[in-house]
Structure 1
């Protein structure tokens, strides 16, 4: 049986893995861990999972910003003669909105980090591409993800007390 430190370390590893591989659900892991080991402090579990998630998502943010060089097969081939489509035009308008309305950009990031609407992975990539300041990304991501995982960590205890 794992000790509390081992469980917290496992939670950190799972949170980083789920940040990088979207099919891994850290939410299910958090709920399962709280049910299996109710002695773990909810706030510590939420904090560790939050830090792991944001650490993993920072890789996507920096890759979209161009600070991490992707392998050649993942790089988009540029065609200077190609006319930009509607999607490219929408993304340019979105980038402009993020730069001219930082409070709006922070609100979208906070909503995404908390509720995953829009999906947080997509928001991380777009935030990096739109050159949202890393401080805005980190603050909104940490606050939103902590609220999300804290709610998940206390939910089983609330359900048990309510029933």
Structure 2
């Protein structure tokens, strides 16, 4: 596979995994870097960009209101859940909002889908959310893929 297709594939898988739980970006990072360890950095960044773009769609959906999306939508259900209301409470305070968003993006706890919806509903800044999501996702994919790339031959 040539490098432009690898990068486009990483963005596509990242976006898909941000919106569909059955698509696994972490597995893509592992398999791809095991087979092509020299593409480690571009694929990690591409996956992170795709994930951030997908989470921004959830963020914007919640920001614009669940009424536009319909009462039966998944975003509306997430926005009204008990977890989302707790997370939204933490996101209102700037002192707790940034660490919560970064922890969610890098560790996955609380789930980034919930944090994305809650951040949009609580009025967080789009740039702050996107930046923290991108940094956290790069760290997450790097922590998963770098050991595999080094074990399979990157020097």
TM-score (norm 1): 0.79
Secondary structure of the structure 2 residue equivalent to 1:138: helix
Greater CA drift, 66-75 or 146-155 = 66-75
Instruction: State the Cα RMSD in Å.
Output: 2.5
Shift in alpha-carbon separation, 1:54–1:94, aligned structure 2, 3 A: closer
Structure 2 unaligned regions, length at least 5 = none
| Higher Rg of the two aligned structures | 1
Q: How many residues align?
A: 147
Query: Which residue of structure 2 lines up, in the alignment, with residue 145 of structure 1?
Result: 137
Shift in alpha-carbon separation, 1:28–1:97, aligned structure 2, 3 A: closer
TM-score (norm 2): 0.82
Structure 1 unaligned regions, length at least 5 = 77-85
Query: Which residue of structure 2 lines up, in the alignment, with residue 98 of structure 1?
Result: 91
Query: Which residue of structure 2 lines up, in the alignment, with residue 15 of structure 1?
Result: 14
**Is 1:55–2:53 an aligned residue pair?**
yes
Q: Going by fraction, where is helix more abundant, 1 or 2? A: 2
**Is 1:122–2:122 an aligned residue pair?**
no
Runs of 4+ in 1 over 3 A off after TM superposition: 93-97, 158-161
